Amino acid sequence: MSYKVLLADDHKIVRDGLRTLLDKNAGVRVVGEAENGRIAVQLTKKLAPDIVILDVAMPDLNGMEAARQIIAECPGVKVIAVSMHSDRRFVSEMLKAGASAYLSKDYAFDELETAIRAVISNKVYLSPDISGVVVDNYVRQTPNPESSAFSLLSQREREVVQLLAEGKTAKEIANELHVSIKTVETHRTNIMAKLNIHRLAELTKYAIREGLTPL
């Protein structure tokens, strides 16, 4: 049986490398590529892959939000997260989003085929350095989880934060999210109030710290 795979990473060189690796596997067929999370969600709905290999830090819509939307709208799809970040917040939120595997980019090319076999068998796969983070997070129970952006802000508010942090205007955000400019401005006001943030520079720092946007 051949499994269809979608690759999502904002760096073409990474996508090319993953495609070259997967093309050698007779049981896997790459059916599409996406350079950001929003396109990854759209292509998943259009191409119906079995597996989406998803970078965590992408522009426009980050991997954590993309994974949530993919799994909510296409529940049969398996998500494999690939990231240079091993911070417990990134790992925890990606797994909460429903990812079946989390690979460190340092080991992704060595472990990808093993991870694919695992998720197809309905198992969870974590890179060795990532599994230590998960265990540590479970033992320590990260303090104040309610302060996370994923607890404080709605999905739409998180999308607006990312786009604002990436320099998009209210008009550009409205066009991208298919809402009115007034709606975007209302979201921005509510976000600033919830976070007690008063300047865009502070909001940008917050978005980076929370993993909502890449550096």
127-143 pLDDT per residue, tens: 887 876 666 665 455 55
* Residue 164: predicted pLDDT: 94
pLDDT band at 87 (very low <50, low <70, confident <90, very high): confident
**Statement: residue 3 has pLDDT above 60:** yes
Last residue of a domain, one of 107, 140, 173: 140
Report if residue 215 sits inside a domain.
no
Last residue of a domain, one of 122, 140, 158: 140
Using one digit for the tens of pLDDT, what is the confidence trace for 21-73? 998 887 899 999 999 999 999 999 999 999 999 999 999 999 999 999 999 99
Which tokens in the block code for residue 64?
């954590």
Instruction: Answer yes or no: do 199 and 118 share one domain.
Output: no
> Beta-carbon neighbour count of residue 90 at 10 Å?
23
Instruction: Answer yes or no: do 106 and 151 share one domain.
Output: no
Residue 81 bridge partners (DSSP): 54, 102
Range of the domain at 167: 145-209
Instruction: Please name which of 27, 66, 75, 53 lies closest in space to residue 158, comparing C-alpha atoms.
Output: 66
Q: How far apart are CA 110 and CA 107, in angstroms?
A: 5
Instruction: Answer yes or no: do 51 and 157 share one domain.
Output: no
Mean pLDDT of 178-198: 94
Q: What is the CATH number of the domain that holds 166?
A: 1.10.10.10
Instruction: Answer yes or no: do 110 and 46 share one domain.
Output: yes
* Residue 150: predicted pLDDT: 83
pLDDT band at 10 (very low <50, low <70, confident <90, very high): very high
Last residue of a domain, one of 90, 105, 140: 140
Instruction: Please name which of 93, 95, 41 lies closest in space to residue 69, comparing C-alpha atoms.
Output: 41
Instruction: Answer yes or no: do 99 and 168 share one domain.
Output: no
* Number of compact structural domains in the chain: 2
